[in-house]
A and B are shown apart, each in its own frame.
Chain A
């Protein structure tokens, strides 16, 4: 056990699974980098943000495969390899690039098992960066997990810390279904206590980062940290919060969300993806349908506006959910008074 960054935790998960299972292969744009360049170096980048650095050295270029910048062909190849005996981990770099290869994910990998009458296994992981806060603007900042969540056949993981990332990625690689593994690019240097050994965190079980009596906050990925900070501040004002990190948007641990809402009677959902048809709307619908009678105040969503992600820092800050916005939403739900209808 030692302190490791989110980046190191992911690298370690990949390394340990590649050691354990020779069918695990890595592919993507510049997952090593430098091939054919005039400097004659390999592993020049190790991924655009260095997450896969050093893996080429240990596993060689038959297991760490640099691809041309052609997402459709290599994501499709990863799907094809997954149904024919390999366990590929394909890196899509920025999740926004899914526009170039959605067919291979949505119509191919996600559908094989069902379309083929249960006769296929597609042990595929697609890793990609998501999220705003990096001044990366509209085509490199989206939080597209609702898009994948919408597609039956896919599992979707949104880890909230280095510890979570390692255990969830190992589970994703060992899983026999296609898994979309989304890494918030702002978190790569965040550190956490991470065991040196391999370990698995089951997909589909929510984690409660704190338990409280007044309000349930459901948050995803980087938003979990913000929700915890908000809960710390609220605690000083005498408002105690449960914070749920669902870990995966598909499967979604509905049971835990409903239990916690039943306990607190109030719900705030923090989701940095675009506000229409996102996880916040999904969970709001779930609670409205299954736990209406336990609610003591309207459900509140802390979400960005329905705009592309802006570039300028001042606008991007306005765009994103924040500790203050979460605090305000929780306070508002606490202040709600039921008015008896006459």
Chain B
């Protein structure tokens, strides 16, 4: 399948933005300046971006606690995200959501979610909206292998099939739910689970942008055509801990270094597009430089931005009370 040059450029930029955003957070978090806790998406960029490259603002996604990548891939503004993570009033959620609740409904981003398995039921609802309103939209739930065991997820697979919803369930399987391996916690297979509901199933290597793009494209086209939901199983490796500060004592010492050297989605993307002469290396270098500037500016601005004020505490609990 031919991918348009514009899409490739946009996708590379999104993946590079996620990478730099997360690596910068890794550094900044260690300084103690970022409140709360953050869960980094490094290593998994091609999944969010490969899927979202098949979506428009009219489509909807729901994310997880590890949501920065999905936000950026779906088009949430990076400066607003950074300010939110710093707890500033200029943040996309005015400093009231933080890392785990970044949302932007205007671009179809239903929110990162602090609750494991929180997203799939919401996505059934978003898909129902698309179907009922007849707007041609598709709703995509990103959830991890940990969440794949939640009752909410299994119920949602069932409901989506019963209602024949235009939904795609993307299992981002990075091998660990917190500190417990999916080989321990997930009985059976994701494929068998999909089959149990009679749901079509696709899987792909999540470090290969082209594989994700291809599989997600098929899944989304199926859903968009009114043929019902699809499960997309994306195999990934998480480069950092469950949260920042996780010493990862449960992982073999070579696991992450191996992934970084052999399964770096950005490196793989660059090699592929330059070898196939789809994009010029210098263009990619320019993007890298531009993204570096953007992240630097976002951090500087976030640090300087105003903090929320006391009246903000009481604001926006209700539309009207």
Interfacial residues, chain A to chain B (CB-CB below 8 A):
23, 25, 62-63, 65, 67-68, 70, 72-86, 88, 103-104, 107-108, 111-121, 152-153, 155, 175-177, 204, 251
CB distance from A342 to the nearest CB of B (A): 46
Given known pairs A84-B60, A103-B115, A113-B316, the reply for A251 and B121 (CB within 8 Å) is no
Task: Check if B110 sits within 8 Å of A80, measured CB to CB.
Answer: yes
Whether a CB of chain A sits under 8 angstroms from the CB of B287 is no
What is the 8 Å Cβ interface bit string for chain B, positions 180-197, against chain A (1 contact, 0 not)? Answer: 000000000000000000
Given known pairs A76-B125, A80-B121, A118-B315, the reply for A108 and B115 (CB within 8 Å) is yes
Q: For A251, what are the chain B residues with a Cβ–Cβ distance below 8 Å?
A: 321
CA–CA, A73 and B130, complex, Å: 17
CB distance from A121 to the nearest CB of B (A): 6
CB distance from B185 to the nearest CB of A (A): 19
Q: For B95, what are the chain A residues with a Cβ–Cβ distance below 8 Å?
A: 117
A and B contact pairs by CB, cutoff 8 A, 16 listed: A25-B132, A62-B132, A73-B121, A73-B152, A76-B118, A77-B125, A77-B159, A79-B122, A86-B125, A86-B128, A114-B316, A115-B96, A117-B97, A118-B94, A119-B103, A120-B105
Q: For A155, what are the chain B residues with a Cβ–Cβ distance below 8 Å?
A: 318, 321
Q: For B94, what are the chain A residues with a Cβ–Cβ distance below 8 Å?
A: 117-118
Q: For B295, what are the chain A residues with a Cβ–Cβ distance below 8 Å?
A: none
Cross-interface CB contact of B110 among A72, A73, A83, cutoff 8 Å: A83
CA–CA, A306 and B120, complex, Å: 37
CB distance from A62 to the nearest CB of B (A): 6
Cross-interface CB contact of A72 among B151, B316, B320, cutoff 8 Å: B151
Closest to B158 in A: A68
Whether a CB of chain A sits under 8 angstroms from the CB of B39 is no
Whether a CB of chain A sits under 8 angstroms from the CB of B126 is yes
Beyond A80-B62, A115-B103, 13 additional pairs, beta carbon < 8 A: A67-B159, A70-B159, A72-B121, A73-B120, A73-B155, A77-B159, A80-B139, A82-B125, A112-B103, A113-B316, A113-B318, A118-B315, A155-B321
Closest to A73 in B: B155
The 6 closest A-B pairs by CB, nearest first: A76-B121, A80-B125, A118-B316, A80-B122, A117-B94, A73-B155
Closest to B109 in A: A116
Could you say which of A115, A117, A119, A175 has the most chain B C-beta atoms within 10 Å of its C-beta?
A: A117
Whether a CB of chain A sits under 8 angstroms from the CB of B101 is yes
Given known pairs A80-B122, A80-B125, A153-B318, the reply for A72 and B93 (CB within 8 Å) is no
Closest to B93 in A: A117
Whether a CB of chain A sits under 8 angstroms from the CB of B123 is yes
Task: Check if B96 sits within 8 Å of A78, measured CB to CB.
Answer: no
What is the 8 Å Cβ interface bit string for chain B, positions 233-248, against chain A (1 contact, 0 not)? Answer: 0000000000000000
Q: For A114, what are the chain B residues with a Cβ–Cβ distance below 8 Å?
A: 96, 316-317
Q: For A116, what are the chain B residues with a Cβ–Cβ distance below 8 Å?
A: 93, 96-97, 101, 103, 105, 111
Q: For B130, what are the chain A residues with a Cβ–Cβ distance below 8 Å?
A: 84
CA–CA, A72 and B156, complex, Å: 8
Whether a CB of chain A sits under 8 angstroms from the CB of B78 is no
Whether a CB of chain A sits under 8 angstroms from the CB of B124 is yes
Task: Check if B115 sits within 8 Å of A204, measured CB to CB.
Answer: no
Q: For A85, what are the chain B residues with a Cβ–Cβ distance below 8 Å?
A: 129, 133, 135
Task: Check if A70 sits within 8 Å of B125, measured CB to CB.
Answer: no
Task: Check if A107 sits within 8 Å of B118, measured CB to CB.
Answer: yes
Q: For B101, what are the chain A residues with a Cβ–Cβ distance below 8 Å?
A: 111, 115-116
CA–CA, A119 and B151, complex, Å: 29
CA–CA, A111 and B122, complex, Å: 13
Task: Check if B151 sits within 8 Å of A115, measured CB to CB.
Answer: no
Q: For B315, what are the chain A residues with a Cβ–Cβ distance below 8 Å?
A: 118
Whether a CB of chain A sits under 8 angstroms from the CB of B162 is yes
Whether a CB of chain A sits under 8 angstroms from the CB of B250 is no
Whether a CB of chain A sits under 8 angstroms from the CB of B92 is yes
Q: For A82, what are the chain B residues with a Cβ–Cβ distance below 8 Å?
A: 125
Q: For A80, what are the chain B residues with a Cβ–Cβ distance below 8 Å?
A: 62, 110, 121-126, 128-129, 139
Task: Check if A86 sits within 8 Å of B318, measured CB to CB.
Answer: no
